[in-house]
A and B are shown apart, each in its own frame.
Chain A
Amino acid sequence: AQSVTQLGSHVSVSEGALVLLRCNYSSSVPPYLFWYVQYPNQGLQLLLKYTTGATLVKGINGFEAEFKKSETSFHLTKPSAHMSDAAEYFCAVSDLSRSSASKIIFGSGTRLSIRP
């Protein structure tokens, strides 16, 4: 069965600094991977997703993630943090163990704080 692990429940960076949020996955088949963001008092919003093809995926708001099969990782990065990036970030993987493949398995989330 598929699963994801997010390393670090809370990450704090200075405004303008590099953002790196870590995600490792477990899957016996090629995975489909997602990053979602949740701003305060809102639902989740898709940042980016990896299905097939190019392993470096670009998303909204300047975020990108790289699928590394050898490291079973899908870390999220942004070169320069902005105050508006403060939110909760969720890594997720499609559950492909079932024929009705509608289930997404979410990680426990990483709260990103930005210091002025």
Chain B
Amino acid sequence: ETGVTQTPRHLVMGMTNKKSLKCEQHLGHNAMYWYKQSAKKPLELMFVYSLEERVENNSVPSRFSPECPNSSHLFLHLHTLQPEDSALYLCASSQDRGPTDTQYFGPGTRLTVL
């Protein structure tokens, strides 16, 4: 148990569906992250939030829309996804955005797009 929870753990959706992934951290951290983990590819950083402000968008398609209503919660809204978006989506948090800050990861949401 890392103090970062993600729901749902598994999600299957069609290309026309709209769904949301939820992440919650119980560590009092100020920064939160979304990563995409695809088979045989390095982890890809998608978004970074610091104190509820988006500080990085790593050239992610607009069909992925993040939301950070407060420092404990992070959402990833999904719409009109493609099959190649199927992957494990990981949320992480860290105390701050320093280069030595440890990131704590949730268990991930396994997304399958049909």
- CB < 8 Å: which of B31, B48, B108 contacts A43? B108
Would A45 and B2 count as touching, CB distance under 8 A?
yes
Number of CB contacts from chain A to chain B under 8 A: 65
Would A102 and B31 count as touching, CB distance under 8 A?
yes
User: 12 interchain pairs (CB within 8 A)?
Assistant: A32-B100, A43-B2, A44-B92, A45-B105, A49-B100, A94-B100, A100-B55, A101-B97, A101-B98, A102-B33, A104-B45, A105-B42
B110 to chain A minimum Cβ distance, whole angstroms, is 8
Would A43 and B106 count as touching, CB distance under 8 A?
yes
- Encoded as 1 (CB less than 8 Å from any A CB) or 0, chain B from 86 to 108 comes to 00001110100111111111111
- Contacting A at CB under 8 A, from B58-114, are 90-92, 94, 97-108
B95 to chain A minimum Cβ distance, whole angstroms, is 11
Q: Is B43 an interface residue (CB 8 A)?
A: yes
Would B42 and A106 count as touching, CB distance under 8 A?
yes
